Structure 1
């Protein structure tokens, strides 16, 4: 499982996408990136041993079983003449743009009905899911930012407008998960149900020399370190601070 990589790429994608929906300050960006990181793990609910499936014990376990059953049935009904013989459970229904958009739409609808409390619940679930993979440091950072915002009486001002972006954050996380899986040897049927070359569940993947094995050295030694560095540099204010700091460094004059 690519749990760490999925959460990190979801975090980075959230930091990039946040300004596109009008979020610029750290208290605004952190909940968005946190939701993207957490929900980047959700497509793996179709695997019984995934972090998302075991997260809430029997609750997410039953949801995982239900999603696998739905995925298997939809695969059997919609597979094309050239689709491979497969159970259609893992890396199928939940690994599509359709699933990402539907989940994002559902999150938006729930947030509009429930307001700030619903947004808080959606973001909190994503936070706990991401922290379960990345570590408690993420939990501490986000809670510290939320506490500071609440102390200044602005927590509701941050969460209430979030009804417009929380669904985007959820969808971004799911999309990043699929794009990550598409880089592996198994590929990902991201564009279902669009038929490609006689396959409804066509596995998108790059040329062989660019594919990597899940949990292999490329993921651990290249992708994860790059995402960690990017996840820090993309935080609001970090890159401008570093460029200004480096620009102010005076190099010693060369000796004649």
Structure 2
């Protein structure tokens, strides 16, 4: 499973996209990035041994069974003439843009109906799911940011204001997961139900020389370190501080 790299790339995507939804300061950006990181693990609910499936024991285990059954039925119903003869469970229904958009829409609807505390529940689920993979440091950082938000402007008001972006964070995490899987040897049918070459579940993937094996050396020694560095540099203020530091200690340019 690519749990660690999925969560890290979801975190990076959240940091990169946050300014586009009007989030700029560190206390604003962290919940968005955290939610994106956590929900980047959710598509693997279609695998019984994935982190998301084991996260809440029998609760997420049951949800995993339901999603696998739905995916199996959807695959049998919609597969094209050239689609492979398989169960249609793992890397099928939950690994599509359609599923990501549906989940984002549901998250937005729940947050609008339930208000600030519903938003808090959605973010908290993503936070704990991400922390289960990335480590407890994420809990410490997020709780500190929440405490600062509560002190400066009120946590309930901040959660209510988050209604506008929580669905985006959820959908973004799922899409990033699909893109990550598409870079592997197995590919990912994330453009379903658009038919491609006679296949409704066409596994998109890059050229062979760019594909890597799940859990292999490329993921461990290239993808994860690169995403870790990017996940720090994308934090608000870090890149500016780093460039200023480099400029301060760089040798002066000689005048002609």
User: Which of the five TM-score ranges fits, normalised by the shorter chain?
Assistant: over 0.9
Partner secondary structure for residue 249 of structure 2: coil
Alignment partner, residue 8 of structure 1 = 8
What's the offset of the Cα at 1:245? 1.4
- Report the TM-score when normalising by structure 1: 0.97
Alignment partner, residue 106 of structure 2 = 106
| Number of residue-to-residue matches in the alignment | 254
What's the offset of the Cα at 1:156? 2.7
* Unaligned segments of structure 2, at least 5 residues: none
Partner secondary structure for residue 43 of structure 2: helix
What's the offset of the Cα at 1:8? 0.3
Alignment partner, residue 238 of structure 2 = 238
Partner secondary structure for residue 165 of structure 1: helix
Alignment partner, residue 186 of structure 1 = 186
What's the offset of the Cα at 1:149? 1.7
CA RMSD, Structure 1 to Structure 2 (Å): 1.3
Alignment partner, residue 66 of structure 1 = 66
Distance 2:196 2:153 in 1: 53
Distance 1:81 1:252 in 2: 66
What's the offset of the Cα at 1:123? 0.4
What's the offset of the Cα at 1:153? 3.5
Distance 2:10 2:250 in 1: 37
Alignment partner, residue 46 of structure 2 = 46
Distance 1:208 1:64 in 2: 31
Alignment partner, residue 34 of structure 2 = 34
Distance 2:46 2:32 in 1: 24
Partner secondary structure for residue 168 of structure 2: helix
Distance 1:52 1:123 in 2: 15
Partner secondary structure for residue 192 of structure 2: coil
| Matched-pair contact (CA < 8 Å) for 1:27–1:158 | no
Aligned positions of 1:1-256 closer than 5 A: 1-249=1-249, 251=251
